[in-house]
Amino acid sequence: MLMIKVDLISPMRCDKCRRPAVLFQRYSGLHLCRDHFIADFETRAKRTIRENRWVLPGDRIAVAFSGGKDSSALLIFLHTLLSKRRDVSLLSITIDEGIRGYRDPARARSFAGDLGVPHVTVSFQERYGTTVDGIVEKKGDALSCSYCGVLRRNLLNEAARDAGATRLALGFNLDDEAQTVLMNVLRGDSARLLRGTRPVPGMVPRIKPFLSIPEREVALYTYLQTGRIDTGRCPYSHNALRAEVRQMLNAYAWKHPATRFALVNLGQELAALGSASPGTVHTCTRCGEPCGTTCRSCEILDEVRDGA
Ligand code: SF4
């Protein structure tokens, strides 16, 4: 995993205090210095939490913590926000998918330990008896992200539930969310677009405090808080449809800066429509996890074990 150190030197001045700026926000037209950027960042994340009533007294919040820039920012932010509250607790969960040279659960544990946040690691190998590298060996790497995504989502939910979490916090940022909406549109996947936010028995409700914050600002927040930027990439990430959609959306949003916000709003409005109609949730007869019509995790594990 490559970590680089960056010097932030800017000839521009903060529009609020005239100190050197670390960021120009194209969508607000503001230059911001370190302190005003951090204040603006945290204010927006807190507003998202407040508007969605995502943190309530008695909550135990599990942060999905890969150790990358987004989840590091999330852990730091939630720790800053909640460490003085006695009525809310925090823990972090790292999923080790078994991708050689990519994840380092020991580093994640040490990062969480430095903050004093309890940490749990769960691995594909222990839970499923295989790893993403093992799946790629058997099935090739064309569908690595589809398999990995489904199994990781399930395992995260299981680990959060086992740890008694009432919420599962994800470091998804504005870019991730906008890409997800666009991917679902491109696939014509109306079921996912209309998937509501109603509580589902067995599923720990997910929260995404950085929903309205662009990826580069999340990276900058992590850098300003830790002095480092993690540039490690999964060796299979080039296969993801997401990589193509990211490129396309970045090019379009450069000319039309409000596009990502518009896509996220569209996703939220469709999810609200979906929440209004009753959905059907089944429980997998084999693994007991909540699922749609069939348990995709069990299907994947069958394929991988049988080598189909
Ligand atoms: Fe898994 Fe794909 Fe993400 Fe790699 S890029 S961690 S294979 S989902």
The CA 140 to ligand 1 mean position distance, Å, reads: 14
Three-state DSSP class for residue 274 = helix
Q: CA-CA distances (angstroms) from residue 215 to 134, 219, 224, 299?
A: 31, 6, 14, 33
Lowest mean pLDDT among 7-21, 71-85, 92-106: 7-21
Q: Is the pLDDT of residue 90 over 70?
A: yes
Which residue lies with its CA nearest to atom 8 of ligand 1?
A: 145
Helix axes 215-226, 174-187, angle to 10 degrees: 150
The CA 31 to ligand 1 mean position distance, Å, reads: 34
Residue 5 falls inside a structural domain: no
Residue 191 falls inside a structural domain: yes
Which tens digits make up the pLDDT trace of 26-41? Answer: 888 999 999 999 999 9
Residue 47 falls inside a structural domain: yes
If we measure between CA atoms, which residue out of 92, 125, 127, 129 comes closest to residue 107? 92
Residue 28 backbone dihedrals phi, psi, to 5 degrees: -105, -15
Residue 68 falls inside a structural domain: yes
The CA 124 to ligand 1 mean position distance, Å, reads: 13
Which range of residues forms the domain containing residue 172? 38-280
CA–CA gap between residue 190 and residue 308 (Å, rounded): 29
We report the CATH number of the domain holding residue 177 as 3.40.50.620
Among 66, 96, 156, 236, say which to mutate for ligand 1: greatest number of ligand atoms within 8 Å of CB: 236
Q: Is the pLDDT of residue 1 over 60?
A: no
Among 104, 131, 137, 144, say which to mutate for ligand 1: greatest number of ligand atoms within 8 Å of CB: 144
Residue 8 falls inside a structural domain: no
Residue 27 falls inside a structural domain: no
Which tens digits make up the pLDDT trace of 174-218? Answer: 999 999 999 999 999 988 888 877 778 889 999 999 999 999 999
Residue 62 falls inside a structural domain: yes
Which residue lies with its CA nearest to atom 6 of ligand 1?
A: 234
The CA 144 to ligand 1 mean position distance, Å, reads: 7
Residues 6+ apart with CB under 8 A from 37: 22, 23, 217, 220, 221, 224
Ligand 1 atom with least separation from CA of 144: 7
- Average pLDDT of the residues in 71-78: 97
Q: Name the domain count of the chain.
A: 1
Does pTM surpass 0.85? yes
pLDDT category at 2 given cuts 50, 70, 90 is very low
If we measure between CA atoms, which residue out of 163, 252, 172 comes closest to residue 214? 172
Residue 2 falls inside a structural domain: no
The CA 143 to ligand 1 mean position distance, Å, reads: 10
pLDDT of residue 194: 87
Beta carbons of 125 and 103 less than 8 angstroms apart: no
